[in-house]
Amino acid sequence: MDDCIFCKIANKEIPSTIVYEDDMVIAFNDLNPVAPVHILIVPKKHMTDILNVEKEDMKYIEAVVEAIQKITKEKGIAESGFRVVNNCGEDGGQTVKHIHFHIIGGETLGGMA
Ligand code: 5GP
Ligand code: ZN
């Protein structure tokens, strides 16, 4: 999608530090990390948010879960634990309108607000 920053990152039009990629998803370091590990997993198909994933696109969500398993093992945080965050909409604090999942870890995280 034109003017979507995560589509541009997925298309390599905007540089990012890619930590994992397959046919379905791309994962890269967040520009403003909130913890030692802060990675965004982004489906390569433009979908606005979790409310707008069509039935036939659920395979992207499966790919996200697979990527979480691979990346957390690779980064050495699978054992210690981590958090997966999906912000949705205005009150959820979603700033980029292309569905994405944050992997946050590498330290003991505070309780949920
Ligand atoms: P949201 O608040 O929408 O859930 O998360 C968007 C995230 O994308 C933020 O954590 C922000 O730091 C990150 N972000 C925004 N623009 C860029 C960018 O151009 N490159 C990277 N690597 N991260 C970005
Ligand atoms: Zn997009």
pLDDT in tens, 27-65: 999 999 999 999 999 999 999 999 999 999 999 999 999
**76: left (phi > 0), else alpha (psi -120 to 50), else beta?**
left
In this predicted structure, the answer to whether residue 91 has a pLDDT above a threshold of 70 is: yes
Q: What's 5-105's CATH class?
A: alpha beta
Q: Residue 16 Cα, ligand 2 centroid: separation in angstroms?
A: 15
Supply the pLDDT for residue 112: 80
Supply the pLDDT for residue 2: 85
Mention every residue, 6+ apart, whose C-beta is less than 8 A from residue 99: 42, 43, 47, 48, 49, 50, 52, 53, 86
Q: Which residue type, as a one-letter code, is found at position 14?
A: I
Mean pLDDT of the chain: 97
Every domain of the chain and the residues it spans? 5-105
Model confidence band, residue 1 (pLDDT cutoffs 50, 70, 90): confident
In this predicted structure, the answer to whether residue 113 has a pLDDT above a threshold of 70 is: no
Q: What are phi and psi of 62, to 5 degrees?
A: -60, -45
Which residues lie with the beta carbon below 6 Å from any ligand 1 atom? 5, 14, 16, 28-32, 40, 87, 93-96
Q: What are phi and psi of 10, to 5 degrees?
A: -60, -35
* Predicted TM-score (pTM) above 0.85: yes
40/63 Cα distance (integer angstroms): 13
Of 18, 37, 49, 95, the one to substitute when testing ligand 1's pocket (max ligand atoms within 8 A of C-beta) is: 95
Model confidence band, residue 12 (pLDDT cutoffs 50, 70, 90): very high
